[in-house]
Amino acid sequence: MREALTTPDAPAAIGPYSQAITAGDFLFASGQIPLDPATGQLVSGGIVEQTHRVFKNLAAILAAAGIGFDRVVKTNVYLADMADFAAMNDVYGTYFPSPAPARATIQAARLPRDVKVEIDLVAYLK
């Protein structure tokens, strides 16, 4: 069985997708970009500020499921420019306890709204 999970504390879906889906013991969060859910606007700043906003959005989705980053088992990070990897990675590391989740990081030709970073995740609910 699968159910949509939504929270007003993360940006609303702007297309035919859900903020997150729970299926069995797992939560699958859609890719988050650095949108402020209160204003619908992109945060100002570079990769550091954008990565922090993405993690705030992901934290809100996890909180809506009653869990935190310690339950994340897999992430996918999409960067507009792989030259931003080190700065993104420094921010990323502050959100996860050890052991960190499995991860893939790729440079995408283009991201929604021309942002610098998008991250999705899978978390274990139990």
User: What pLDDT is attached to residue 2?
Assistant: 95
User: What is the value of pTM for the model shown?
Assistant: 0.97
Closest CA to 73 of 34, 104, 118, 111: 104
Contact (CB, 8 A) for 43 and 50: yes
- Residue 91 sits at φ, ψ, to 5 deg, of -70, -50
Burial of 2 (0-12, 13-18, 19+ CB in 10 A): exposed
Q: Which uninterrupted H or E stretch holds 32?
A: strand 26-32
d(CA 119, CA 126): 22
Q: Which domains does the chain have, with CATH numbers?
A: 2-124 (3.30.1330.40)
pLDDT tens, the chain, 126 aa long: 899 999 999 999 989 999 999 999 999 999 999 999 999 999 999 999 999 999 999 999 999 999 999 999 999 999 999 999 999 999 999 999 999 999 999 999 999 999 999 999 999 999
